[in-house]
Structure formats: structure tokens, C-alpha cells
Structure 1
Amino acid sequence: MTEEEKKVDGQTAEPAAQKKKKKWPIVVGVVVAVLVVAGAGFWVWHEQPSFCNAICHTPMDAYLPTYEAEPGQAATDVWGNEVANASGMMAAVHRAENGTTCLGCHVPTLSEQIGEGMSWVTGSYEVLNTQTGQQVVPEKSLEDLVAARGIEPDQFCLNESCHNMTRDDLIQATSDLERNPHVAQHGENQCSDCHKAHRASVNACSQCHNDAPIPEGWISAADNTALEKELDSLNKAA
């Protein structure tokens, strides 16, 4: 081989080697970009109610329709009961009025998410059968819902992101009512004693006061007791 041929071979071989070395940063960059975009998309989806429904379809299937229901229209509650007016289901009302998502109310801690994820994967969680044949988790108190965050039950609703007021402010706001439902006249009550997110809210005052007004879309304490007994009977028979 002549010197000229060697030179040509050297010139053609060297650029080829250089090009080969430069490919890996491009590949890494593309992979990183894809992961970032996918991660961002997943995080946005994670904030949506459809995420809860898709990932944990058991027992979340029954909850999504109660969120997507339109206030003023008929709907089905989380227990599978027909509701003439969804205005009493707070999940539907907050979505329609404020665009609130699941995580707007259910603010999770990392430990809580990990615990719930493990429970779902292993199937170690309690469920109740509903009128439609679906399964849901037992209804939780506000104390249960805020336990992982270490805050007071009232703060589930009374916070800067939702109802930015104190209990005293709330009492003052409803002071013109004949019976102020936010005054602890018969012991301390939680917001969730009356306000239900995924089924018709209940006027707890009607348990004793027959003349207590029932707001549009709400039910009386007697009707609520009947629904609870019906659900209990359904699950005892299962």
C-alpha cells in the first residue's frame, strides 16, 4: 500500500470513529427528553380523577360518576342509589363551581400514597358491595381523611384552597338561620356529618327537628339512615 493510500485510509477511518463517539450523547439526550415529557404527562394525569379511576378501578369506579355528575341533574351516588338532583353531592358541586379535582380535597402525603399503593397491590383493603354490583371503600370520617397530614378535621374543608375561614367565621356566616347548624349545640359535629362528597348530603338537624328544611338535592336524616341500613343489609347477605 502506498503512502497516499495509507493517508486516504487514515482520513476516512478517523472521521468515522469520531462520528461513532458522538452518537451516545444524542441517544442519552433523546431518552432523557422522552422521560421528562412522559413524567410530566404522567404527573398531570396523576392530578386528574380519571387517574384514580383507571389505576385503582377497584374500588374507584363508582366514585368518578359522582364527580362528573352535573348539579341540578339526576345522578347515581357512590352506593348505587339514584339521586334526583346531584346538587347535594359535594364532589360534583366543587367540580362544577371551582374545577376542584380529587387531590384538591384528598391531599396525600408520600407515606399515605405508598401505603395505599401497597394495599391496592396486595388487595389488603376493605370494600363494600353497592346496589350496582360495584365495590367501594367504607365511608371515612374527616378524622380518618386528615390523620396522615396531622391536621384538625375541620381543616379538610376550612383551608386556604377551599373554604378560607375559621369555624367561628362559619358560625357567623349562618347566624341568620333559625337553627345555626354550625354551632355545637349538641356536641361537636364534623362537616362530613352533613356534607357528603359522593352521595346526597344530609340535614342532620332533621333527626330531631321535623321542620328542618331539606336543601335541594339533600336528604333527611331518616332517609340517610334507611340508605345506610340498606347498604349494611346488602353486605351482610353477600
Structure 2
Amino acid sequence: MSEEKDIKTGEAGATAKKPSEKKRKRAITLGVVAAVIIVAGAGFWVWHEQPSFCNAICHAPQDPINETYDGVSGEAGFDKWGNPVEDMGDLLVVQHKEAADATCLSCHVPTIGQQVTEGMLWVSGNYQYPLDERSLTDLNHYLQAEDESAFCMNDSCHNMTRDDLARATSSYGKRNPHVTEVKHTEMECSDCHKSHRQSVNACSRCHDDVKVPDGWLSAEEAAEITSAGFRY
């Protein structure tokens, strides 16, 4: 009887271990799944901030803009409209990428509502081609910033005031567009500063004595290439 009891006890012990073994395997499986999800999520988030994500998921017209982001200083290329650029380092998108590791979402900060709207336009095929050029006022709409200059001049980017900027560009003399007293109120920063194409000295539309910085275009030159058609 004693031997028979021990056998039964042993069988009961073995049986008791089975649920614990299942729990252990389940815990390991859940841990592996969680690790995979975390790694995949991290990889997706990194991709989410790259131009290729925008192009692959939604924006079919993103190709020419992607090419500007992929530009390299000192090498020739094309702007977002297909116009030749002698040095891609003249484009602000390349300068910000190389100097500050900026990505698309460093400047384009969409809201959930905007992303849903763009997703619906993509599904319906009712999207613009080529994409319209956004002003800083347009971009600041999503950041809820009242002053369009706050898009660039803030604690995270260019930590300076308008007065600081005016002093930094004092060599412009009387045509310094950053001096509040002479700045045309109907103009904003993005009238001159472009990201995916060469920047433009908009002052040259009216003033023929202004200096056009190296790598920039005069207002006349910009008007000519803007209306020249698209490569895509």
C-alpha cells in the first residue's frame, strides 16, 4: 500500500507540474511577442520620420521632394520642380539634414485630423500633383503658433529674437528685411526662405540695389523657373 501511495503521489506531483510548465511557456511566448512588437514599433517609428515613409504610404507626388532631401552639399541635383541646382547644399532642406539631422517631421508636424484627411484624399485619389508649396503660415497652423517666424526662431531651432536676426544681417544695410521698421507687413519669412528649392531675394522684385546671396535667386529668376513647367 505504501508503495502504491508513493506512486500515486508521484503521479499527482507530475500532474501538478504541468500547469506551471504551461504558464512558463506562455510567459516566454508573450515576452517574445512583446519584444518583437517593441522592436518593430521602434523601427516603424524611425521609418515614419523619413521621406520614404511619406512617399510609400500616402504621397505619390513626394518623389521630387524626396530627391531634394537626398541631395548632398557640393553635388548638383534638382529642386522639387525639376529645375537644375548647381549645388544642392544651397537648399535649406539639405542644410538642415546635414547640420541638424532634421527629418520630414522636424518641420512638418501634422495633427491626427490632418493625417486622416490626407488618408481619405489618398484613398479617393483626390490629391494634388504636384504638391502645393506651403508657407510658414500654413505650417504654423498645425503648431498653433501666432507668429510665422516662431516656426524657425524657437528654443528647439534658432534660439534668437527678431532683433538678434536683424543684428546678424546688419550688412544688408538699409535693405535689411529683418529690421521690423522696414519689413513689409504683407510678407513673411517663407517669401524668401525656401526649403525644397533655392531661396529667393523677394526684395529684388522692387529694389534693384539689393544683394542676392550666393546660391539664392533673384525674384525675376525665381519667376522664370517656377513657370517653366515640371519634370515629373
Q: TM-score, normalised by structure 2?
A: 0.84
Shift of 1:120: 2.9
State how far apart, in whole Å, the 2-side matches of 1:42 and 1:208 are.
48
Aligned with residue 154 of structure 2, among 146, 156, 159? 159
> CA 1:18–1:88 in structure 2 vs 1: closer, same or farther (change >3 Å)?
closer
Shift of 1:192: 0.8
Shift of 1:102: 1.6
Per-residue displacement from partner, 1:145-165 (whole Å, max 9, x unpaired)? Answer: 111221121111111222112
Partner of 2:65 in structure 1?
63
Aligned with residue 127 of structure 1, among 114, 126, 129? 129
**Which of 164-173 and 91-100 deviates more?**
164-173
State the identity as a percent: 49
Per-residue displacement from partner, 1:49-92 (whole Å, max 9, x unpaired)? Answer: 33223333512121122112123331111011111122331101
Aligned residues: 225
Alpha carbons 2:76, 2:87 under 8 Å: kept: yes
Partner of 1:182 in structure 2?
178
Alpha carbons 1:45, 1:51 under 8 Å: kept: yes
Per-residue displacement from partner, 1:83-117 (whole Å, max 9, x unpaired)? Answer: 11223311011112222222222233333333333
Aligned with residue 220 of structure 1, among 204, 215, 218? 218
5+ residue gaps, structure 1: 129-136
Shift of 1:210: 2.8
State how far apart, in whole Å, the 2-side matches of 1:8 and 1:160 are.
70
Alpha carbons 2:90, 2:198 under 8 Å: kept: yes
State how far apart, in whole Å, the 1-side matches of 2:73 and 2:211 are.
19
Shift of 1:20: 2.6
Alpha carbons 1:195, 1:201 under 8 Å: kept: yes
Alpha carbons 1:88, 1:196 under 8 Å: kept: no
Q: Which runs of 4+ in 1 moved over 6 A?
A: none
The letter for the 1-side match of 2:194 is K
Partner of 1:141 in structure 2?
135
Alpha carbons 1:87, 1:218 under 8 Å: kept: no
Q: TM-score, normalised by structure 1?
A: 0.82
State how far apart, in whole Å, the 1-side matches of 2:105 and 2:9 are.
67
- CA RMSD, 1 decimal: 2.6
